Amino acid sequence: MTNLDRGADDQSAPLRVPAGSAGLTRRQLWLRRRRRKAAIVAVVSTVVSFGVAAWLITGSSGWPKVKTIFFNRERFKEDFPEVLGYLWVDVKLFLQCAPFILLWGLVIALCRNTRNPALFPLRAFAAVYTDFFRGVPIILTIYLVGFGIPKLGLLHGEFHILWFGGNWNSPYLWGPIALVLAYSAYVAEVFRSGIEGVHESQRAGARSLGLSHSQTMRHVVIPQAARRVVPPLMNDFLSLQKDVALLSVLGIIEVFRRATSIKDLTGNFTPLVAAAVMIWNVGTGEYPIAPLDVVKTILRIETGNSDYNFVVNVLRLPRAIVAFVVGIMLALSGAVMQRLCF
């Protein structure tokens, strides 16, 4: 008997109709049973796998020493509040870099996709730019830009950009510039793939309506490409949030630099684990806050806890707004695509 015959026999076999299944066909009941069985197998296999891994790790001879050095509960409770105070520096550096990366990456992508022979030097520059900065490690770019350019002494005086200000040779200026130069190369390739993914008939249709090349790119190609590149852009910006910690090599005191300082003083690596957990836990909501206190914090009403403002307005609210806006954009793009297709 073949598998196909066996599947047909399984479907034709008498099935017990569970409660709440009125109106379902025999095949729907059979598919529900198969999905339920698959879910049970997945849960059991996952629990067994994690259980075996935990048993092997905790049963090893070196686990007590690793637990003391990396997962010390007392040190975690003592160091976590101090490390938390420097997380805002990472957030501000990220917010300072992201808009410039998007803008410069789009410019590089448009230069590389230009078809005007007179603009071939821009196309060549964009190709060399993306190949160079994607091939050079980000940490090396940070060293070259952060330490090399200030040594030239080209700029003097003071600057003030968003939340940061100081001398023109400050690492708070050249560190973000290094990240912008490096990540814009990756973002440019994402934009370029989205632009090239728009079917040629879209361009031809726009040109037949009398639109110029720049109008076609602005009104037809780029809006369609923007919807295609949202998922890969999110991956790039998640990597950017983590790579902001690399700026600590320039002397910027942020969350991982502070955790490393505490580690050097105590000889315990638990502060680094706390910093990693903090970055991962920014949007998970482990800090319990009552819904009424959340509303009061957003409305700037006194709640009696100074930590609520940081947790709600700095950590959770921006991510919630971004998720909401991205959801609206995806919904609108889906509606537009359905309208175009049907």
| 39-43, 67-71, 326-330 — most confident range | 39-43
Q: What percent of the chain has pLDDT over 90?
A: 6
Distance CA 75, CA 67 (A): 12
Per-residue confidence (pLDDT) for residue 282, from 0 to 100: 42
Q: Residue 181: pLDDT above 90?
A: yes
Per-residue confidence (pLDDT) for residue 336, from 0 to 100: 52
Mean pLDDT for 109-132 is 87
Q: How confident is the model at residue 5 (pLDDT cuts 50, 70, 90)?
A: very low
Residues 6+ apart with CB under 8 A from 37: none
Write the DSSP string, 170-201.
-HHHHHHHHHHHHHHHHHHHHHHHHHHTS-HH
Per-residue confidence (pLDDT) for residue 166, from 0 to 100: 67
| 38-42, 61-65, 312-316 — most confident range | 38-42
Angle between helices 230-243 and 171-196 (to 10 degrees): 160
Distance CA 66, CA 122 (A): 54
Length of the chain: 342
Distance CA 219, CA 226 (A): 12
| 88-97, 141-150, 296-305 — most confident range | 141-150
Residue whose C-alpha is closest to residue 182's, from 247, 269, 92: 247
Mean pLDDT for 295-314 is 68
Residue 299 DSSP class: T
Q: What percent of the chain has pLDDT over 70?
A: 68
Q: Residue 4: pLDDT above 70?
A: no
Mean pLDDT for 64-93 is 76
Mean pLDDT for 20-49 is 83
Question: Do the beta carbons of residue 274 and residue 259 sit within 8 Å?
Answer: yes
| 20-34, 107-121, 269-283 — most confident range | 107-121
- 3-state SS class at 158: strand
Per-residue confidence (pLDDT) for residue 163, from 0 to 100: 57
CA 119 from centroid of its chain's CA atoms: 34
Give the tokens for residue 72: 């010390």
- Burial code (b: 16+ CB inside 10 Å, e: under 16) for 243-264 equals bbbbbbebebebbbbbbbbbbe
Q: Tell me which of 54-68, 91-105, 256-270 is least confident.
A: 256-270
Write the DSSP string, 205-233.
HHHHTT--HHHHIIIIIHHHHHHHTHHHH
Q: Residue 69: pLDDT above 60?
A: yes
Q: Residue 134: pLDDT above 80?
A: yes
Per-residue confidence (pLDDT) for residue 8, from 0 to 100: 46
Give the tokens for residue 170: 């400050």
Q: Residue 68: pLDDT above 70?
A: yes
Name residue 160's beta-bridge partners.
165
Mean pLDDT for 1-7 is 48
| 68-72, 122-126, 148-152, 297-301 — most confident range | 122-126
Work out the mean pLDDT of the chain and round it to a whole number. 75
Name residue 167's beta-bridge partners.
158
Angle between helices 87-113 and 270-280 (to 10 degrees): 50
Q: Residue 156: pLDDT above 50?
A: yes
Question: Do the beta carbons of residue 195 and residue 204 sit within 8 Å?
Answer: no
Distance CA 211, CA 208 (A): 7
Q: Residue 283: pLDDT above 50?
A: no
Q: How confident is the model at residue 304 (pLDDT cuts 50, 70, 90)?
A: confident
Per-residue confidence (pLDDT) for residue 108, from 0 to 100: 92
Q: How confident is the model at residue 178 (pLDDT cuts 50, 70, 90)?
A: very high
Residues 6+ apart with CB under 8 A from 215: 206
Q: How confident is the model at residue 7 (pLDDT cuts 50, 70, 90)?
A: very low
